[in-house]
Chains A and B, each alone.
Chain A
Amino acid sequence: MRPAIAVSSLRAGLPFLGTRLVARQLREQVEVLLAQASEVELNFTGVNISQSFADELVGMLLLVHTPAVLERLVFKNCSDSVKAVIEFVVADRYDEYVRTRSH
């Protein structure tokens, strides 16, 4: 069974998470689980996120662990907005990753 994190549990009762501070805490949890398991599930039930939050979480994982880390992350129960924000951040950071390594 893959380990799962309920994103809403980071700040119980808040329907929106926006800061890098909280995203960084979540990223650290994800990195611990990635060291122990082949994949990690992030469950976004009941919570929307900002671009900053998505970037600090997913964008930084992509930059630090290479884009291959995306094959080990499962984003569950995302609203359309959360999907859009994650897709934007992944594309943006992937472009940056490719650009900085092609020089």
Chain B
Amino acid sequence: MIRLPHQMTKSNLLACLGVADALVRNTNDVIPVDASDLRFIDPFALTLLAAACERVGQAGRMIDVIALNPMHGGYLERMDLFHQPWIRRSAVVPADTRHDQRANLVELKRLTEEREVDSTAISLASAVLGWIPGLDRNAPLDDMTGRNDWDRTLEPLCHTFTELLQNAVTHARRDGYRDASVWVTAQYMKRSDRIHIGIVDTGCGFLGSLRNHPRLTTPSNEAAILLALQPRISCNRDFSLTGDATNAGIGLTTTYRIVRAASGRMVIVSGSGVVQIESGRDPHAAEAQGLSWQGAAIGIELARSAMIDIDIRTLMPPRDIGRPAPDIRFE
């Protein structure tokens, strides 16, 4: 039996990875899961749990949730965790509504195709913003910019969602992982006024994508993640100008810069590598102490109030060549 811990959040990263690892490694036909202790699960942990459950299902096994916390168990139901063919639930879902976060959450979504990315990104971003008190989509537009606070907050969120989702549905499906899928969800936490995002894929991982990149000097998971945060990095850029090289090297750069600008936090797990970024500080890399996730698991936290002031223009990586760029005809 696998018991879910009291807290499943990116702050409790090893516990989350431990559950995912235990689920994937378990060889029983039916794996009993006890969620009676679970009090809180954030979007990162929820997407990781959903993706691990999918892996169990892909291996022809089944998960049975045998116990749920009477106060908080309904949350997992509302997030649609149980609406997957590889999960059954013997436990009765509590009817308690005191901890109903329906107004602040976005249900789990599973993507497999690039064509789903744009509409999913917009619907996720809009849903998250819709839960923020005082943020009105129809508020008057600023005379100078033609935008309101809704627009200003929506744009960095859309950049974040599309970049992460596109990376996940395209790069993840390399190296023999053609059936990889992506799990995503988001939630606005009123108390901290922060937006939490979780995006987890079941693909080849950062090292699988970047293994042959000329700038990857050490073939480790941590090094591959750190490289992907650099501007102009891609699994196929710098190799040639033909064929698949159309997939240019933008990587996670914009998301990384948005996280820094929004006093945010980012956790990236891939294989046994973990990279954490706290507001303003340089990325910190480590090993996951014997645990791992095959694919990429990303958790992000953004300060809602700081997002309004993010100027996408200032997030563009600096150019390191002095030659003048060609003129562009803007009208």
Contact with B along A54-90 (1 / 0, CB 8 A): 0110011011000100110111111111011111101
Residues of B within 8 A of A73 (CB): 328-329
Chain B residue with minimal CB distance to A22?
Answer: B118
Interface residue from A15, A16, A20, A87 paired with B325 (Cβ < 8 Å): A87
A14 touches B312 (CB 8 A): no
B residues 240-296 with Cβ under 8 Å of A? 241, 246-248, 250, 254
A92 touches B232 (CB 8 A): yes
Interface size on A, residues (CB 8 A): 49
B47 at the interface (CB under 8 A from A): no
A20 touches B326 (CB 8 A): no
Chain B residue with minimal CB distance to A48?
Answer: B155
Residues of B within 8 A of A93 (CB): 248
Q: Indicate the size class of the contact surface on chain B.
A: 35 or more
B218 at the interface (CB under 8 A from A): no
Docked complex Cα distance between A81 and B162 (Å): 16
Interface residue from B119, B162, B241, B316 paired with A85 (Cβ < 8 Å): B316
Docked complex Cα distance between A17 and B155 (Å): 11
A87 to nearest B CB, angstroms?
6
Residues of A within 8 A of B145 (CB): 80
A74 touches B331 (CB 8 A): yes
Q: List 10 A-B contacts (CB under 8 A).
A: A15-B154, A16-B159, A16-B162, A41-B331, A48-B158, A70-B326, A73-B328, A75-B331, A88-B317, A95-B323
Chain B: residues with CB nearer than 8 A to chain A? 114-115, 117-119, 121-122, 125, 145-146, 154-155, 158-159, 161-163, 166, 170, 232, 241, 246-248, 250, 254, 312-313, 316-317, 319, 321, 323, 325-331
